[in-house]
Structure 1
Amino acid sequence: MFSAMFISLSKCRSTLINPAFHFRPVAAILALLRAVQVSSVHYYVFSVEVSVKEGDSVTLHIDLQIEKKEGCSWKFNNIQIAKVTGDIPTEYGQFTNRLKLDHQTGSLTIMNTRSPDSGVYTFRTFIKDEETTKTFSVTVYAPLPVPVITSDISKCSSSSENSSSLKCSLLCSVLNVNRVTLSWYKGNSVLSSISVSDQSSPSLPLEVEYQDKNTYSCVINNTISNQTKHLCISALCRICSDEVPLYNDCGSTEVLLRLVVTALMGLAAVAAFIVLVYDIKSRRAE
């Protein structure tokens, strides 16, 4: 979200506000504005929200034309991290060797971002006696883990029950995440979701029928990325008397394809060996 605020600093003469202020607010505000004398120093304040994935680089764009004599500086949470004097940039603190400061435009690039880099970055310079300040609120997001789906074995269905009414209790969970939303999807529709802002390990339950043929998936997402885990009902849902299957139909196509490819590669290797042996024997016979 971009916002801009223009503030003129000056000496303000005392102004009596007419009691009519309560009834004529527009007139009262105009009177206050006329009471402010414009000085030669101005502040242009801008605010920008920026999101970046941990490990990536991010550039905080200023896009000004800065003269050597003017210079500029950057602060992170009110602590100076970089400045330009003349055309020589200087870095400080935790960002050493990870910053690239454009001394002509003032733009700052942060490389190999880390979670502790989240915070408020403030740019400051003077151009023709006018102070320009631009503020960025940066959030660095750690890579998202793939959700884990488990079944509650203690709630497995009895084989004596009607197969059409068998229920399977599932749980989707992730560990040590923040500023994320965890959701269950049925096809493209959201069934349920939970959002967390602080560091935590959220989980989300789901109950499905044993013979349900719909497509379910658990998704974790934040502002810039997401991870999806698809549910295989036949692999996780079983009746109490069933043994754990050696394979499941959700991955059977992929498994079969891998077996076919492996078999073909094996046959090709055997054929190549036979041809090689035959070629060697033929040469010896000559």
Structure 2
Amino acid sequence: MTNAKKSSSPRDPFGASGSVTLVGAGPGDPDLLTLKAVRAIEAATVLLVDELVGDGVVALARPGTRVVHVGKRGGCRSTPQAFIEKLMITAAREGERVVRLKGGDPFIFGRGGEEVEHLRAAGICVSVVNGITAGLAAMGSLGVALTHRDHAHGVVFVTGHARPGHDFDWPALASVAHATRLTLVIYMGVRGVAEIERGLLRGLPADTPAVVVQHASLPLQRQVATRLGELAATVAREGLASPAVIVVGDVVSGLSAAQHELERWGAA
């Protein structure tokens, strides 16, 4: 009787060589990683690490893992996307177990969709492990729900940094949000906050509650509550910068009560 070649279980995609896994590292706090993400990191032989992934997450890699930092942050010098994709394809073809470690969730403004397309086109086996996106972590840390049924019928995740030539229609979004009671979670919007404010004010009242959360989930997290009509001035006055998310909507009105409870229970 001949021994059959052992294949990787569908439940354990990290045991196979010559593959790529896109892993969501969450907003920064290693405690927010999923168990599946931890297993993927521990199984990796090559780790391609985004700029916003913390050292505590990278430390989970086993000794001998090749760690390559491929930083990408708005307004700063970044590793070209084409180069990152080439690295993944080359390493996978050499039989490496590659983990592309991305801040937040790979499929929430993480260019994960583009990377999956390129990898599959190159014949590379690729899987995805979701992570907690910064918009959820930011409001969760403040004890505020994005979809409180008394204040919002839904939530929209939107980028404040569109591709060149693809300008976003903020007035249209604001009108829909006002008419249907949506919470807006804006990523990468700090640099263009003045334009965003102007656009949203064409469909939302100036007194709509808003909050800016910088470094969500990390010890240096900062949050400043304001109103839509004072959003840009608040960002400038408080010196808020990337990485940060902006949340606009009536759910933010519950921030004061939530903060009081967090402080009461010693969780703030």
TM-score range, shorter chain: under 0.3
- Tell me which of the two structures has the higher relative contact order, counting C-alpha pairs closer than 8 angstroms and 6 or more residues apart: 2
| Structure whose residues are more often strand by fraction | 1
TM-score norm. by structure 1 comes to 0.23
| Structure whose residues are more often helix by fraction | 2
